Each structure stands twice: as C-alpha cells, then as structure tokens.
Amino acid sequence: MSRKSTHAKVAGSRHREAPFLPERERYLRNCADSGATPGSLTIKRNELIWIARLLPATAPLGIDIAQLHELVQQRASMHTGITMGTRMIVVARPWLRFLGWWREPTKDLAFQGFLDGYIKWMCDERGFSRSTVDQWQGRIRQFLQWCEETGRDLKGLRPTDIDDYFIRNAARWGRISMKTMTGALRIFLRYAAAHGLCDSRLATALRTPRMYAQESLPSAPGWTDVQRILATTETDKPADIRNRAILMLLSIYGMRRGEVVALRLDQVDWAGRKLHVFRLKRRQPQVYPLLPTVAQALARYIDTVRPHCSAPEIFLRLKAPQRALTPAALFDFVNGKFKALGIETKHRGPHALRHACAARLVAQGLSFKEIGHHLGHRSASATMTYAKVDMRALREVGDFDLGELS
C-alpha cells in the first residue's frame, strides 16, 4: 500500500471515530453543496475532528465564545501556534451556527429584569410549554431591544410607538407573523400593565390583522408518499430499523418531534399493549393503543439496535456519545427522506407527517373533535386547518386502518 493511500485510510478512520460524526458530515455536505473546494473541505474536516474531540457532551445545549476560547486553550496545551487557534475558531463557529448550537453573545438589556419576570410568569403562572416560552421570549426581547435602541421607555410608551414598531417590520412580516407578534405583545403589555410598568390602555389599543379561513393551507404529503418514505426503511440497517419506528410514531399517532425524542422506555406498556404519550401542547399524558405494526417496529429497534445504556429515552444516537436524539436530528433525517424521494410539499419535516396523519383522518370522516383528541390538540380550532384539503383526492387513500401501512 502506498504512503498516500495509507495516509488517506488513517485520515478516514480518524474522521469516523471522532465524536459528532453525523453532525460533521451533514455540515461538510452542506459546504460541498454550497461550492466549497476540495482543499477547503479537507481543512474543515480535519479541524472539525479536533473540535469534536474537545467539545463537551452538553454542546447541543449551546456553546458561546468564552467556551470556544477555552477549547482553543486546551488544544494549545497540546500544540503551539496562534494561527492554529484562530483557524479553529474560524471553522468551529459556522459549524456550531449551522447546527443551532452556537450561543450568540447577548447584550444586557436595560429591560432585562422585566423580561426575566415575564418569563417566570409565563412558566409559573400561565403554565406555557417550553417551546411557547422560548418563542415569545424571543419576540418580546426583540421588542424591548427596539425600545432601548430608539430611546423609548415602557412607562411613557404610547399606541403610536407600537404602530412605529409594526411599520418598521412590515416589510419582513407577513400577516400570519404579524398576528403572532400582536398576540405575544398584547399578553406582555397586559402583564406589564398589571405590574405598573406601562399604561393599561396599550394592550387594548393593539389590533390583530384580519385573517381569512382559507388563507393558509395544511402542508400534508399524500398517504402514498408516507408509504414510500416508510418503504425506504425496510432494511436491516440499524439506522433504518430505528428510523422506521420513529416514522410510524410521527405518521400514525401524529406525534410531534419533541414528543418522539422525549418518549421513554417506561411509557411503553408491552403487556397492556398501550403507549403513554406526554402531549407537549396540552401538557398532559395521553394513552393510545399500541398497534401491532408499531409494537413490532419498536421491539425490533429496542431489542436489536438500541445501545445498552442508562438513558431513559427510547431513541438514542447509534454512535458515541450515546444520548437521546434531538428534535433537530429528527428533522434532518425526515427532511432527507422527502428530498431523496423528490416529494414536493410545502414543508418536508416531521410535522408534515403529522399533517398527513390528520388529513387521512379527515378523509375517513372522523369528526374534528376526534381528530383533535388523536393529535393532542388543546382546542377544536387547532384542528380546523385540516378541513382545507382536497377531500376527493384524500378519499382515494382507502379505508382507514391505523394498524396497516400497506
């Protein structure tokens, strides 16, 4: 074997054995698709090996610039050279941003105390889900940042100031985004008024943009497309065995990706043939029959593929470090299935399979109350969007039987 081929073999082995392999490969593929040269990709790949080895297991929770500099110091203790540390930061930061793991430096707001109090109120008093709190926190932070940048004080805020804020963002907000922002801001202003932070009339002065019943359409792929996606997992590959079970939970039970990754081993009642799901939006448990096809897929994965470790979650990474899958990982592999099969739909992630489940239930004549209960909706209005589909086309799917996918 030549020296060149030996070097390539060793480099390939280092790449495969380093932590965060799927995350590195996904990023490198994205760089290649964006036009990165072979030489640039080689540099990135080699740097990412070092970075991955130094990253803590908690990296998916966020890495900031201070932590990144600490990693540089750790590497500097093994190798000298300022340029090496600089190159490491240059490569690491876009990779972490790509994964959603980068924690941007945050400027302290003069209103930070107000925002912290509001977040605590949303969690403790209103019982909002973590995803809702995170979303509204970001929107209100943007608003408070704008107030600070424009020299506005909450106490002196007037309806015309609110109008200015919406006018400034009108170019990048559609009516749906504007409606969401209006709702989030109204609740915050009510909270602020109750605590004497602003005029109580501000919240009532906000007007929600008018929305139309048929303005948005559900993004549901056809059930035949769902069957095509499932068919790609009919192999003996460990990843396919795991992913088949995940796809069934998404498309048959209409689970959200956060609910799938949070599903624990003790939530499967094998003897009673029941599946206990904690619905994120309703914030309460829900019991489903454990259908034979799903039970078979879960049992095959758990018995033959799932790594033996103390993690309570069912779905784990197949390579070290062995921890629960993230919602982002679920999105990536489902989105990849849609792309590989050329399935054209508005959205191509786990939620699209939830929509497909709902659309199939609509096609079979189930009531909105029944469909809403199956999907874990808090209100009937959340289910109404699934009525806006091509009913004739959906009825071509065939008789409804959750237990069969063929």
The residue-averaged pLDDT of 49-76 equals 85
**Could you say which of 256, 257, 348, 374 is catalytic?**
256
118 is catalytic: no
The per-residue pLDDT for range 32-62, each reduced to its tens digit, is 877 778 888 888 999 999 899 999 888 888 8
377 is catalytic: yes
**Could you say which of 14, 351, 373, 388 is catalytic?**
351
For residue 113, the model assigns a pLDDT of: 82
374 is catalytic: no
Question: What is the sign of the dihedral through the CA atoms of 192, 198, 201 and 207?
Answer: negative
Q: Quick one: tokens of 332?
A: 């990536």
CATH class entry, domain 3-99: mainly alpha
**CA dist 226 to 175, 329, 342, Å?**
31, 19, 12
Q: Taking Cα atoms as reference points, which of 360, 152, 373, 390 lies closest to residue 282?
A: 373
C-alpha distance across the termini of the chain, in Å = 50
Other Cβ atoms closer than 10 A to 127: 10
For residue 7, the model assigns a pLDDT of: 44
CB of 323 closer than 8 Å to CB of 316: yes
Task: List all residues 6 or more positions away from 289 whose beta carbon is below 8 Å from its beta carbon.
Answer: 273, 274, 275
Q: What confidence category does residue 81 fall into, taking pLDDT thresholds of 50, 70 and 90?
A: very low
pLDDT of residue 222 exceeding 60, the answer is yes
Fold classification of 112-205 (topology level): DNA polymerase; domain 1 (1.10.150)
**Could you say which of 257, 317, 355, 377 is catalytic?**
377
Indicate the range of 318-327, 346-355, 371-380, 386-395 predicted with least confidence.
386-395
What does the alpha-carbon distance between residue 301 and residue 65 come to, in Å, rounded to a whole number? 39
What does the alpha-carbon distance between residue 257 and residue 321 come to, in Å, rounded to a whole number? 21
Q: Taking Cα atoms as reference points, which of 305, 333, 309, 304 lies closest to residue 321?
A: 309
CB of 247 closer than 8 Å to CB of 353: yes
What does the alpha-carbon distance between residue 180 and residue 209 come to, in Å, rounded to a whole number? 10
Q: What is the mean pLDDT of the chain?
A: 77
The residue-averaged pLDDT of 303-331 equals 88
Please provide residue 365's backbone torsions phi and psi, each rounded to the nearest 5 degrees. 85, 15
Q: What confidence category does residue 350 fall into, taking pLDDT thresholds of 50, 70 and 90?
A: confident
**Could you say which of 45, 186, 337, 354 is catalytic?**
354
What does the alpha-carbon distance between residue 25 and residue 48 come to, in Å, rounded to a whole number? 10
More confident residue, 314 or 205: 314
288 is catalytic: no
**Could you say which of 27, 118, 253, 386 is catalytic?**
386
Q: Quick one: tokens of 16?
A: 């495969």
The per-residue pLDDT for range 95-124, each reduced to its tens digit, is 998 888 888 766 666 778 888 888 888 888
The per-residue pLDDT for range 256-281, each reduced to its tens digit, is 888 888 899 999 999 999 888 877 65
pLDDT of residue 389 exceeding 80, the answer is no
Return the C-alpha torsion angle 22, 27, 33, 34, nearest 10.
Answer: 180
Q: Quick one: tokens of 147?
A: 């107030």
For residue 270, the model assigns a pLDDT of: 93
* CATH match for 223-395 among 3.30.930.10, 3.40.50.2300, 3.40.309.10, 1.10.443.10: 1.10.443.10
Domain ranges of the chain: 3-99, 112-205, 223-395
What does the alpha-carbon distance between residue 100 and residue 209 come to, in Å, rounded to a whole number? 31
SS3 73: helix
69 is catalytic: no
256 is catalytic: yes
More confident residue, 25 or 385: 25
Total-model pTM: 0.46
Same fold, 3-99 and 112-205: yes
**Could you say which of 24, 45, 257, 281 is catalytic?**
281
What does the alpha-carbon distance between residue 36 and residue 34 come to, in Å, rounded to a whole number? 6
Q: Quick one: tokens of 401?
A: 């039987």
Q: Which residues are bridge partners to 285 per DSSP?
A: 278
